[in-house]
Amino acid sequence: MENIQIKPTIFFENDAIGWEKIDDFIDRQIVGFDDSVMMVNVRFKKGGIGYLHYHVHIQVTHIAEGKFEVSIGNDKKILKKGDSFFVPSNVEHGVVCLEDGLLIDVFSPMREDFIK
């Protein structure tokens, strides 16, 4: 019996990937994943809220555009384009968009709940 290997997608061209509308202020675009890691672009309009929540996944986020008020546990800070933040597993966190922006989220392991 022949061992068949499925080649994962390794290139993700922005123009070829759709955006999922989360609400009137937030859109999400999944740009790469396997079982161990996932990268997601999250586009915010000013006033958008990533409500406080937590998950088992470790999260690292880079602010590619805009300005956000970021809450992680008991800490709160205003971060802008070029800044990043780290969220340990099961720590409550959220953001408020102060200027239109784009977050690049990386999760480990991948967010199965984002794949429908």
Q: What is the mean pLDDT of residues 88-102?
A: 98
Omega before 8 cis (within 30°)? no
Strand-pairing partners, residue 108, are 58
pLDDT at position 7 is 59
CATH code, 51-110 = 2.60.120.10
Q: Is 113 helix (H, G, I), strand (E, B) or coil?
A: helix
Q: How confident is the model at residue 15 (pLDDT cuts 50, 70, 90)?
A: confident
Q: Is the pLDDT of residue 3 over 60?
A: no
Q: Is the pLDDT of residue 14 over 90?
A: no
pLDDT at position 100 is 98
Q: What is the DSSP secondary structure assignment for residue 39, as one 8-state letter?
A: E
Threshold 0.75, pTM exceeds:
yes
Domain limits of the chain?
Answer: 51-110
Exposure of 45 by Cβ count < 10 A (0-12 exposed, 13-18 middle, 19+ buried)?
Answer: middle
Q: What is the mean pLDDT of residues 81-96?
A: 98
